[in-house]
Amino acid sequence: MLNKEQIVTYFQSLQDNICAALETADGSGKFIEDKWDRPGGGGGRARVIHGQVIEKGGVNFSAVHGELPANIIAKLGVETGKFFASGVSIVHHPVSPMVPIIHMNVRYFEMDNGTWWFGGGIDLTPHYVNEEDAKFFHQTLKNVCDKHDVAYHPKFKTWADDYFYLKHRQETRGIGGIFFDRLGGQDGHTKESRFAFVKDVGEAFAPIYTHLMAKNKDLAYGENEQKWQALRRGRYVEFNLVWDKGTKFGLDTNGRTESILMSMPPMANWVYNHQVEEGSAEAQTLGFLKKGMEWV
């Protein structure tokens, strides 16, 4: 029977493998690691890269445990008790506005009363939506899902559309992807079958992003595209600080601030009442930032 030590060992190797693949794809940046301890139990390995393709990126691993704080018990709707949580979290902000921002997370949670679940997802936030890339991205995720359960992709794609949504802007953060949470022993699944899926999600990340990096990093751009990138980074900040439950949860419960806010971009801009030019590439991208887009 799968135990948490095996999951932790896997998440650590996933972090190692992703960092190695991204360093190769970047060609210049190297990850710098901070090991940290959580006062209540456990800790993590924060890794950050500043490269020639990735301007600011993080690949974080953590494994924490202890007594569940009262405010978490209420939010999760679980019973009092000892918990264990582990996962890998990634956000990359590229130098070029032609390369998309990407986010990936895989996580595992259990309580000493036997409750357990997996969660996670991958979503893509292009500054400029490229339809070929969007199809490649969603098709790859669909293939990963379909391999495990044909019910996964429709459900998890919709979940991503609903989750990565800026209500106050009435736009999605990017083109979505997949999002899932509390995958336990429902629907005939076992801890082993859920873990097998989560592993495949984690392992899909590096091939997806290194492909998108290589394909787009040398595309030409100018000041106009950089200005737009700074505005889109501002929207990314808005989503993460206003709507993202994981960020809010972490900041509310004295998580490690520098790891949680690793997702913040370099140089983000806000322009009052910014309007895009009709028919422009920026307007076209905004047109794609809607729930329910079918890319595959």
Binding residues for a second copy (CB under 8 A): 34, 46, 48, 56, 58, 167-169, 230, 234, 237-238, 241-242, 248, 251, 254, 257-258, 260-262, 264-273
Of the pair 7, 262, the CB lying nearest a second copy is at: 262
- By C-alpha distance, which of 163, 171, 177 is closest to 276? 171
The Cα 247–Cα 250 span in angstroms is 5
* Residue 192 beta carbon to a second copy: minimum distance, rounded to whole angstroms: 36
Of the pair 130, 259, the CB lying nearest a second copy is at: 259
Can you spell out the DSSP letters for 48-90? EE--SSEEEEEEEEEEEEEEPPHHHHHHHT--SSEEEEEEEEE
The Cα 189–Cα 149 span in angstroms is 10
Of the pair 3, 273, the CB lying nearest a second copy is at: 273
* Residue 269 beta carbon to a second copy: minimum distance, rounded to whole angstroms: 5
* Residue 160 beta carbon to a second copy: minimum distance, rounded to whole angstroms: 21
65, 92, 93, 103: the active-site residue: 103
| Residue 83, both tokens | 């918990």
* Residue 93 known to be catalytic: no
At residue 33, φ and ψ (nearest 5 deg) are: -110, 135
Of the pair 131, 258, the CB lying nearest a second copy is at: 258
The Cα 100–Cα 133 span in angstroms is 10
* Residue 29 beta carbon to a second copy: minimum distance, rounded to whole angstroms: 13
Q: Is 25 left (phi over 0), alpha (psi -120 to 50) or beta?
A: alpha
Catalytic residue annotation = 103
